[in-house]
Structure 1
Amino acid sequence: MRRIGIIGVGEIGRAIVEGLHDQGDGASEVFLSPRGARTAAELSDRYGTVRVCPDNQTVVDSSEIVIVAVRRQDRHEALAGLTVPDDRVVVNVMSGVGNDDLRRTLTTDAPMVRAIPLPSIRHRRSLTVTYPSHPVVDSLFEHLGGTLPVADETAFNVLSAVTGTLTTHYRYLATLTSWATGLGIAETDADRYVRGLFQETGRALEDGTRTLRQLAADHETPKGSNERVRTTWFTPANSAALTQVLDDLLADLEGRQGDVLR
């Protein structure tokens, strides 16, 4: 049984705990920090192998794998004075905080791995990017839906920038719902239809035999509605603007680690 500690029990911390216990799987013992007390207490009440510790040092002392999931701006306060033995494995899931930064804060020689777990990890459907590859960490996230180890921090930052588009997708769907509602469709009906439409479209992504461009083409009829919206709204200028936003975000991730939020 793995002993896993989580410092900072927010949305990602909760999702990791729920993913570890998905389908009744209690193969890991989990130690939670008192930060995010309400969420930590709820998880402890729900799962018999989850315990809330009195402080962060107890989390470290009780665990083999220590997941640091505090907010970037809270890291110095939350981690100050911690002693992390070199035989622990530290997993850094803080957005925009490099391992060198975290190592200076913790003053430890323990192995340290960056990771990008997403909320869908609770359903074991999230492919988690890791750097550097480490057998213990990669095995953990493989159990939670899959692992994508990358060769260097540049690649990690590129995929971290891509992750920054997630809420834009949700806002796009919300805009479709608002447009339909403004034209007289009941809000609940518009919301239900948009969700169903894109849930079904999302299932097509499971077909790894077709590229994303092929999937787009397969969902279009020449001169049909989908082609019309794509070519008149998602223009080359629109695409270039998105590329520029990603370029700027990547530059921040590479040049000012610790100053960018996901």
Structure 2
Amino acid sequence: MIQSSDLRPTLARVGTLQRVGVIGVGEIGKAVVEGLRHDGDPTPEIHLSPRGASADLAERYEAVHLCTDNQQVVDRSDLVLIAVRGPDRHSLAGLHIPGDKIVVNVMAGISNDDLRSILDTVAPLVRAIPLPAVRERMSVTVVHPSDPVVNAMFDVLGGALPVADEAAFDVFSALTGTLTSHYAFLVTLAEWASSHGIAPDDADRYVRGLFENVGRSLGDETRTLPGLAADHETPNGSNERIRTTWFVPASAGLRESLDALLTDLRRP
């Protein structure tokens, strides 16, 4: 089996990325393709595995091509983004990936060592956590290890955040597990308002507007997160009351859930 110490350096391959392949075109794979095509530029050329949203994307965008199988994706690409579901990772066995390719591993909970043992390749492997907002080029993507070509691609999609090791990478991966809880929180607010006589459409519209404003304030990186929280709270006011009576007691449970998720992510 090929060892990680056999990795070839990537510095010689810095430059314009011409061909990207995506194996596993689910929500994240689709978002990456849409992000790369966000401004209408037909570069890089994109090659897709023949499942999921591939056919629709190939019809919608110039220079996006549907391949017959995963090996053809590899053969036609300089950088291959692997976004299959973790339980399906063994379907990748048998792919031939030459050492002059770059493999981007976006499978949650699948380490680079695990993926390398399946692929048996000397090609550089980079883990990444692209989020759906990369389709609008509005999401920072955590990467490990740092690779100039991969960083450049995610800089286009909203920014790359290289981290030092997989332990740090796993912490960021655990944070992504809170996304649907945020949406469920908004659902609860709207449902609570409806239970008190507010029309569901009105409750939905108001809650969306309330938190769209929060999103805009988060875009101001000159203000810290604690600073933003303090700026939106009046002493003895309504926000302080909900924070201290509901969120502060509940935050211990949130931390415990994140710790448990992190433990699972680090389990071999």
Could you state the TM-score of these two structures normalised by the residue count of structure 2? 0.92
Distance in 2, matches of 1:182 and 1:32, equals 46
What is the alpha-carbon distance in structure 2 between the residues aligned to residue 45 and residue 239 of structure 1? 46
Q: In the aligned structure 2, how far is the partner of 1:102 from the partner of 1:239?
A: 35
Q: Which runs of 5+ in 2 are unaligned?
A: 1-16
Alignment partner, residue 64 of structure 1 = 78
Tell me what 1:146 maps to. 159
Partner of 1:172: 185
Which deviations, in whole Å up to 9, do the C-alpha atoms of 1:199-222 show, x marking residues without a partner? 011111111122111111100111
CA deviations 1:150-183 (Å, max 9, x no partner) are 0011110011111111111010001001111111
Q: What residue in structure 2 maps to residue 226 of structure 1?
A: 239
Q: Secondary structure of 1:24's match? A: coil
1:47 matched to 2:61: yes
Runs of 4+ in 1 over 6 A off after TM superposition: none
Of 239-248 and 103-112, deviating more is: 239-248
Deviation of 1:35 after TM superposition, in Å, equals 2.1
Distance, in Å, in 2 between the alignment partners of 1:86 and 1:238 is 49
Q: How does 1:144-223 map to 2 (within 5 A)?
A: 144-223=157-236
When the two chains are superposed, the root-mean-square deviation of aligned CA atoms in Å is 0.9
* Aligned equivalent of 2:124: 111
- Counterpart position of 1:28: 44
The whole-number CA distance in structure 2 between the counterparts of 1:233 and 1:226 is 11
Q: Number of matched residues? A: 252
Matched, 1:76 2:83: no
Q: Supply the distance in 2 between the matched residues of 1:94 and 1:227 (Cα, whole angstroms).
A: 39
Distance, in Å, in 2 between the alignment partners of 1:251 and 1:115 is 19
| Equivalent residue, structure 2, for 1:242 | 254
Structure 2 SS opposite 1:4: strand
Q: Return the match for 1:134 from 147, 165, 169.
A: 147
TM-score (norm 1): 0.94
1:253 partnered with 2:230:
no
Partner residue in 2 for 1:99: 112
Cα deviation for residue 80 of structure 1 reads 2.5
SS at 2:266's partner residue?
helix
The one-letter code matched in structure 2 to 1:178 is: E
* 1:126-165 CA distance string (max 9 Å, x none): 1000000001100110011100000011110011111111
Q: Which residue of 2 aligns with 1:13?
A: 29
Whole-angstrom CA distance in 1 between matches of 2:39 and 2:203: 32
Tell me the distance in 1 between the aligned counterparts of 2:32 and 2:147: 18
* Inter-partner Cα distance in structure 1 for 2:250 and 2:46: 45
